[in-house]
Amino acid sequence: MSGTGIITGEDGRDRCSWHGGLPEYLRYHDEEWGRPVTDDIRLFEKICLEGFQSGLSWLTILRKRENFRAAFAGFDFEKVALFDDADIERCVADAGIIRHRGKIVSTINNARRAIDLRGEFGSLAHYFWTYEPRPEERPARVDRETIAANPTTPVSVRISKDLKKRGWTFVGPTTVYAFMQAMGLVNDHLEGCYCRHDVEAMRAALVRP
């Protein structure tokens, strides 16, 4: 790996180096991260899991993702919104997930807020994609130094503030920007990563909700 943050894999392809060569992380990098998402369930799942990730590595969450899905009804926010105290205790006792009571309660709260948001905007996807940064709000070149220097952006700050006003929790600007990167609202695959071109093509073809 050079100072560019790009690493060449065993398949000869150049990629962002953050996957560290770990098979599940590499697969996540290649097949999911940065590819635009307009499905409400996936958007809700990701913003909740980013909240759980706070203070931990994403790899920790990724390895537990199926357990989270089982614990939180596949992140169907209509169902999660109906969780009660017994469900909270069930989740707190679930060794397969991160047993942080505050984050578990936050997920249930955010499910209820998601229903409100969908009622106002028609879908979570429409709400989030209205915040897609304009070209002039993006860096001229996405390189390692730019990403390292910008864990938040003015757009992620605006989304965070708006969500908090609407009663969402565990949605700070850094969490929101990680969500934006993962869900393809921005393309932060580094220059030189083979996925960058693929993601740009997907974003160009995307019908915005």
From CA 103, how far away is CA 105, in angstroms rounded? Answer: 5
The vertex-149 CA angle with 36 and 130, nearest 5°, equals 30
| The token pair that represents 131 in the structure block | 């915040």
Identity of the residue numbered 206: L
Which residue is catalytic, options 33, 45, 50, 177? 50
From CA 176, how far away is CA 155, in angstroms rounded? Answer: 9
Which residue is catalytic, options 25, 33, 58, 177? 58
From CA 36, how far away is CA 169, in angstroms rounded? Answer: 24
Count of other CB atoms within 10 angstroms of residue 150: 14
- CA-based max dimension of the chain: 51
Q: Report whether 123 contacts 209 (CB < 8 A).
A: yes
DSSP code at position 132:
P
Which residue is catalytic, options 28, 32, 191, 194? 28
- Reply yes or no on whether 50 is catalytic: yes
- Reply yes or no on whether 131 is catalytic: no
- Reply yes or no on whether 194 is catalytic: no
- Give catalytic residues, as residue numbers: 28, 50, 58
